[in-house]
Amino acid sequence: MMPYAATTAQMKELDRIAIEERGIHSLELMENAAGAVAREAASLAGPPKAKGADPVARAIPGVIWKAVGKEPEAGTREEELRRLAESARDEPPRIGIFCGTGNNGGDGVAAARILLQGGYRVRAFLVGDRAKMTPDERAMEEKLLAAGGRLEPFDPEDAEVKVWLSTCGCVVDALFGVGLRRPLEGVFRATVELINRGGGQVVACDLPSGVDGDTGEVLGAAVRASVTVTFTCPKPGLYMGEGAALAGKVQVEDIGIPANLAHSMVAQGAAVTEVMPGFMRCLLPRRPAAAHKGDFGKLFILAGSEGYTGAPVLAARAALRTGAGLVFLGVPRSIYPIVAVKCDEAMPFPLPEDYEKLVEKARSCDVALIGPGLGLAPETQQLVLRLLEDMDLPVVLDADGINALAGHIDSLDKRRSPTILTPHAGEFARLTGCLLPVRDRLTAARDFAEAHKCTLVLKGRGTVTAAPEGQCWICGTGNPGMAKGGSGDVLAGMIAALLGQKHLAGSDGENVSQMAAWAAWYHGKAGDRCAEALGEYAMLPRDLIEAIPEVLKENQLEYP
């Protein structure tokens, strides 16, 4: 798949150019899209010749009671519904397809014909005003009629339709594509809620209906998909926030738009967005054979306070596990004995009272990490601001290091060496004054990084890393089990460790933002390993650190 994400505006322009300037027929694109959706629906529903396929068999017990609230009596309408449900045992798998009135709906109508011709029992339902159907969807409806199917008007209160849908092996959502901008209402919202209540397998066509393709925001209500078949390019909203939670498995399909056209529009220029899904690899080069520990980074960490003795240790351990050569851990004198007992490979030291000695220590290193568990004492915040102005080395600012910048953004703007900020949404809101939730995280991160000439790692579902030049990366790894205090400290240590390794970051730091994005991906991948082994409830931040070696080993090039 092409790793670069396309906005909804870019996708509309790609379609226009392909059709109007490249001469590709719109119905050809629609047929290709429908074929990809039909293949996925067939895969979920099961083979067309299998009688009583498992999804159907599982749906039948209790379906009538669920639909009408009582056991049916002979000769009644309820008994007819029971027979309708039981007839699924003797038919090929059933697939229900919900079609809107736009070209996304046309994809669904075409998929209905393909599946019907493939031997499935298919019903296609039109949701919305028939008068608003696009010409392409009407053309696909004619083909469906010729194949023996039809596009039925949909009534979400029709008991017969509810029962039939409850016996489907798969449902296809082709209500809306990339053009939706307003909250779902009326029959569209009712349809989405009906799909979600069914609890079965759902294939979304391009985007789960109700999800904003650019931001991942839910527009009132949204389909919960098992699989989303998206076309040509990944869409940012499939990997961020609620969109990522609702998209299920994301499958990017080529539908015939020329690759050079897509590449020229979405992968060139400064403001490009690269998607880093969970199945990709971020390949590390082999370490130089003649290198020594100094080549892999001397890291200065300023962290910790009374009550927060774990954060500095987690950050230091994560940095070492990620390959840092030397880690010097500066902590307040009051917690030094506690931290020192916890450290073996890292070298903790109590913060000197002489500020110049502290600056000298920091300047002797390659990278500084400031903030994990540092606290909000006014004197601590002033120390952070002074160090930012007096140190000319790359700095990773995390947690309270970021909080110290609130109201003092000029201290960031004055810096000439690379600076990486790693806020969660709350810290970003305190820093910028924006409202929560941050609705368009991709744009917010890109705008901040460009305005303040820094790298911003905006954490959350689909962590966004934004470079000062405008490039962004969306991380597709990670899971809710990582939502525990200490996970961010691990990430901060990993970022700092990668930046300090000269063969990775480069002699002039040209790869700073990319290394931060890779660290976020490794961090999420380690979290996914922990979730597989321990479960999302029980996993701990220290487990992430123990999973780092496996992740890095899997992503190391075998040859230089």
3-42 per-position pLDDT tens digit: 899 999 999 999 999 999 999 999 999 999 999 999 999 9
Q: Is the pLDDT score of 319 beyond 60?
A: yes
**pLDDT band per the 50, 70, 90 thresholds, residue 290:** confident
Share of the chain above pLDDT 70, in %: 91
Average pLDDT of the residues in 267-296 = 89
* Residues 418, 237: Cα–Cα separation, whole Å: 29
* Residues 250, 233: Cα–Cα separation, whole Å: 11
Average pLDDT of the residues in 83-93 = 65
Phi-psi region of 105 (alpha: psi -120 to 50; beta: other; left: phi over 0): alpha
Assign domain 293-554 to its CATH superfamily: Ribokinase (3.40.1190.20)
How many C-beta atoms lie closer than 10 Å to residue 140's C-beta? 29
User: Pick from 119, 172, 110: which is nearest to 141 by CA?
Assistant: 110
pLDDT at 85: 57
- Is the CB of residue 124 less than 8 Å from the CB of residue 112? yes
* E-assigned strand segments in 195-248: 202-205, 227-231
* Residues 167, 88: Cα–Cα separation, whole Å: 7
**pLDDT band per the 50, 70, 90 thresholds, residue 512:** very high
User: Pick from 86, 80, 44, 45: which is nearest to 62 by CA?
Assistant: 86
pLDDT at 84: 55
Task: Name the CA dihedral angle for 253, 254, 260, 262, rounded to a multiple of 10 degrees.
Answer: -50
Phi, psi of 8 (to 5 degrees): -65, -35
pLDDT at 59: 41
449-504 per-position pLDDT tens digit: 999 999 999 999 999 999 999 999 999 999 999 999 999 999 999 999 999 998 88
Candidates 2.30.110.10, 2.60.40.10, 1.10.10.10, 3.40.50.10260; CATH matching 8-44+92-268? 3.40.50.10260
- Is the CB of residue 552 less than 8 Å from the CB of residue 322? yes
Q: Is the pLDDT score of 79 beyond 60?
A: no
pLDDT at 268: 82
Phi, psi of 107 (to 5 degrees): -60, -40
* Residues 125, 147: Cα–Cα separation, whole Å: 16
pLDDT at 1: 65
Please, which residues have CB within 8 angstroms of residue 68's CB and are 6 or more apart in sequence? Answer: 78, 81, 159
347-394 per-position pLDDT tens digit: 999 999 999 999 999 999 999 999 999 999 999 999 999 999 999 999
**pLDDT band per the 50, 70, 90 thresholds, residue 179:** confident
- The segment with the largest mean pLDDT, out of 62-66, 547-551, 553-557, is 547-551
pLDDT at 72: 59
How many C-beta atoms lie closer than 10 Å to residue 123's C-beta? 20
**pLDDT band per the 50, 70, 90 thresholds, residue 77:** low
Q: Is the pLDDT score of 63 beyond 90?
A: no
**pLDDT band per the 50, 70, 90 thresholds, residue 231:** very high
The 3-state secondary structure of 136-192, one letter per residue? HHHHHHHHHHHCCCCEEECCCCCHHHHHHHHCCCEEEEECCCCCCCCCCCHHHHHHH
Average pLDDT of the residues in 339-352 = 96
Among 32-41, 131-140, 245-254, 290-299, where is mean pLDDT lowest? 290-299
235-264 per-position pLDDT tens digit: 999 999 999 999 999 999 999 999 999 999
User: In the sheet where 472-476 sits, what is the strand order?
Assistant: 273-277, 472-476, 464-466, 455-458, 419-421, 395-397, 367-370, 298-302, 326-331, 347-350
Domain residue ranges of the chain, discontinuous segments joined by +: 8-44+92-268, 293-554
* Residues 308, 315: Cα–Cα separation, whole Å: 12
Q: How confident is the prediction for the chain on average, in pLDDT?
A: 92
Q: Is the pLDDT score of 506 beyond 80?
A: no
Q: Is the pLDDT score of 184 beyond 90?
A: yes
Model pTM score: 0.91
The per-residue DSSP string of 33-81 comes to: HHHHHHHHHHHHH--TT-TT-HHHHHHSTTHHHHHHSSPPPTTSHHHHH
- Is the CB of residue 277 less than 8 Å from the CB of residue 250? yes
Q: Is the pLDDT score of 229 beyond 50?
A: yes
User: Is 133 strand, coil or helix?
Assistant: coil
User: Is 514 strand, coil or helix?
Assistant: helix
- Shared fold status for 8-44+92-268 and 293-554: no
Share of the chain above pLDDT 90, in %: 84
**pLDDT band per the 50, 70, 90 thresholds, residue 160:** very high
Angle at 522 (CA atoms; ends 518, 527), nearest 5 degrees: 145
- Is the CB of residue 34 less than 8 Å from the CB of residue 110? yes
Distances (CA, A) of 293 to 289, 322, 430: 12, 13, 38
* Residues 318, 523: Cα–Cα separation, whole Å: 10
Phi-psi region of 352 (alpha: psi -120 to 50; beta: other; left: phi over 0): beta
Helix, strand and coil in the chain, % to nearest 5: 45, 15, 40
- Is the CB of residue 89 less than 8 Å from the CB of residue 52? yes
**pLDDT band per the 50, 70, 90 thresholds, residue 81:** low
